[in-house]
Structure 1
């Protein structure tokens, strides 16, 4: 473990760090309130793509968190910007609740595939339609690359396995727009008004959250909540990661360093 640099801003993952399902993790509400009280700028970076940002924020605040929509960065925002910048018409392989965020896009005669956590919409027909577009040369835009996440009843498949299947079948490589893409982290850092080296990312995913942040030049802290499984820290290839039990312990660590 390397001695961390000064911390002038904090990025937090949501699911697995603040909550699991519709339940706040023990001590998370008070820990976040304590972190806010010291005046550090905060942003929330999530690869959650099962609901629009407004609904996600409403759910978080119903658990006791005081979070504004503009503080939350999702890969959907990055996807919308990329599609517009490149004049692309998406085939949307995403969760039904997320379609509202793409309602302004032209989806006729699609020439790009946008892949999110489609849940029950990951049917053979939908995957095969995406595959055929990729075989015609359409780019694959993935809203994340996570392998799995934790729900109240256990671990569930995330975007990553379906992204890998489409990449293999179509002999292509996806452009990842969420974590662990460096551009996604850097967008969040810019919103904080900090440099990457001054920014700490707190997450429960060793690769997407922590190793991704470290590779992007940020500091990284892995918590043993959410999807964390014993030994996950060994999957972090970049040096300098910090491992702590949960968000309350992470906030205490930040206060001690300051």
Structure 2
């Protein structure tokens, strides 16, 4: 029996800079049914403040505690392990790391997000040298693609994370989806066992296979966002259900 719902953001609740039709109403239906919700994103360009403002602007009301981002996970890990970060991220995301204690160290960690056009050779080489000096390797996410503002797919951070791994021979610790600890943190905040929750996402690899591998009871793939025909057959585990939009996904959950 489903007792909680995890929802991806980009591609599920909004597409580029437009809300998915009916998304706000679908979220409201889940809340009216008494189901706790958590919003999990691999977005690493916009800070959590902007994400919250965007969702609220689309009529989707949520609290900061309901939003789980890789940057939040990274800050928790850096503080817990006493690691001073070398950030290879988009400048817009820097505010999410602004409140880290000045006392972190002497250990170091390279933190890589989607830096966009700031993925220059010099920036990547500086990051590589930090790894060569013994820093831990933290990747906020390693998605292959995302739906860009112009409606087309663009390269995400995954290719650049792979380049650094190849050069340094050091595998990264992935902090966002599909990492099991990312799902576990959201589930723990709802006091739910994995099998009691369902994930709704548009990424068959990170959202769907990631959730099911983490033990979630169900995962629903939506045909919006980065979805391409046949995605439901390209990953293992495969989705339990495929819906045209989040509206149909919610109808399936509540049926």
TM-score bracket for the superposition, by shorter chain length: over 0.9
Structure 1 position 245, deviation (Å): 1.0
- Is 2:74 the counterpart of 1:75? no
Give the structure 1 partner of residue 233 of structure 2: 234
Q: Give the equivalent residue in structure 1 for 2:178.
A: 180
Q: 1:26 aligns with which of 21, 24, 39?
A: 21
Task: Specify the alignment match of 1:3 in structure 2.
Answer: none
Distance 1:46 1:60 in 2: 12
Q: TM-score, normalised by structure 2?
A: 0.94
Unaligned runs of 5+ in 2: none
Q: Using structure 1 for the length normalisation, give the TM-score.
A: 0.93
Instruction: Map residues 161-176 of structure 1 onto 2, 5 A cutoff.
Output: 161-176=159-174
Deviations 1:51-76 (A, max 9, x none): 21112101111122112222101111
Measured after TM superposition, the shift of residue 22 of structure 1 is 2.2
Q: Could you tell me how far apart the structure 1 residues matched to 2:2 and 2:65 are?
A: 22
Q: What is the CA RMSD across the aligned residues, in angstroms?
A: 1.5
C-alpha distance in 2 between matches for 1:99 and 1:121: 13
Residue among 13, 18, 25 paired with 2:8: 13
Query: Secondary structure of the equivalent of 2:170?
Result: coil
Query: In structure 2, do the counterparts of structure 1 residues 131 and 63 end up closer, same or farther at CA, with 3 Å as the change threshold?
Result: same
2:100 aligned with 1:114, yes or no?
Answer: no
CA deviation after TM superposition for structure 1 residue 109, in Å: 8.4
In structure 1, the gaps of 5 or more residues are 1-5
The one of 136, 141, 153 equivalent to 1:139 is: 136
Cα pair 2:208 2:238 within 8 Å, conserved:
no
Query: Paired residue for 1:204?
Result: 202
Q: What per-residue deviation string (whole Å, max 9, x for no partner) do you get for residues 67-124 of structure 1?
A: 2222101111110111112211111001101111111334898821000111121111
Aligned partners of 2:225 and 2:26: how far apart in 1? 16
- The CA deviation at 1:168 is 0.5
2:245 maps to 1:246? yes
1:93 maps onto 2:88 in alignment: yes
Match of 2:43 in 1: 48
Q: Is the 8 A contact 1:116 1:144 kept in 2?
A: yes
How many angstroms apart in 1 are the aligned matches of 2:128 and 2:93? 21
CA displacement, residues 192-215 of structure 1 (integer Å, 9 cap, x when unaligned): 221100100100000100000000
